[in-house]
Amino acid sequence: MKKIGIYGGSFDPVHKGHRLLAENLSKEINADKVFIIPAAVSPFKKGSVASDEDRLAMCRLAFSEDLFEVSDWEIKKGGKSYTVDTLKEFKKLYPEDKLYLFMGDDMLLSFHNWYKYDEILKLCTLVCGGRSGDCEKLSQMKEYAENVLNLKKDEIVICESEPIEISSTEIRDSLKNGEADFLNSSVYEYIKTRGLYCE
């Protein structure tokens, strides 16, 4: 039985924070494969700035190793990208394997608001990165998992991960000033070549 990570998001653009979280959570569970899945339309956001094709291309540049595979499933499906639908599809594709859903601490702490979150919990194990050394936040995550989501200790993985404090919105703003500290160099070159996020 293989361990398969599922990591979704708008990735608009994909940045070093996404990459670091994926690396840390992959190591924590010793993943055999991790799918990076750009959303068609995230339920949490109004829409993408870059095109679907550009977001897929940037993800492929940022996650080029064999461990990672960028999937266009949600984009091809179209419409709002609900995690429960994606997990059902990947469960069909990998019926003998175990699915792990990757997320950061803020996503976990609002998980009860996700569409059909109880079904999601039946399809996968949550793997969450909490801020290293932030005992209060890590404790909050554990209490939330136990008391709100009713998960036992072996039904969720919470690991310490040193986050990069930046959002895609902030990166898009910094790109207008020619700043690219939080971007993989190949992603930045792609953005410049394509003239993305200029306006």
Domain total in the chain: 1
Q: Which residue, among 180, 155, 177, 176, has the nearest Cα to 166 in the 3D structure?
A: 180
Residue 46 has pLDDT above 80, yes or no: no
CATH code at position 24:
3.40.50.620
Is residue 199 included in any domain, yes or no?
no
Question: Does residue 4 contact residue 97 with C-beta atoms inside 8 Å?
Answer: yes
Distance of alpha carbon 40 from alpha carbon 11, whole angstroms: 11
Question: Does residue 125 contact residue 156 with C-beta atoms inside 8 Å?
Answer: yes
- Give the orientation angle of helix 52-62 with respect to helix 185-194, to 10 degrees: 150
- Please, which pLDDT band fits residue 45 given cuts at 50, 70 and 90? low
Is residue 98 included in any domain, yes or no?
yes
pLDDT of residue 199: 66
Each residue's pLDDT tens digit, 53-110 = 999 999 999 999 999 999 999 999 998 889 999 999 999 999 999 999 999 888 999 9
Is residue 165 included in any domain, yes or no?
yes
Is residue 62 included in any domain, yes or no?
yes
* Helix residue ranges per DSSP H, the chain: 16-29, 52-62, 73-77, 83-93, 105-109, 117-123, 135-147, 168-175, 185-194
91: Cβ contacts below 8 Å, ≥ 6 apart: 99, 123
Each residue's pLDDT tens digit, 177-189 = 888 889 999 999 9
Rg over alpha carbons for the chain, rounded to the nearest Å, is 16
pLDDT of residue 132: 66
Is residue 51 included in any domain, yes or no?
yes
Is residue 75 included in any domain, yes or no?
yes
Is residue 137 included in any domain, yes or no?
yes
Is residue 47 included in any domain, yes or no?
yes
- Please, which pLDDT band fits residue 10 given cuts at 50, 70 and 90? very high
Beta bridge partners of 37: 8
The residue segments making up the domain with residue 73 are 3-194
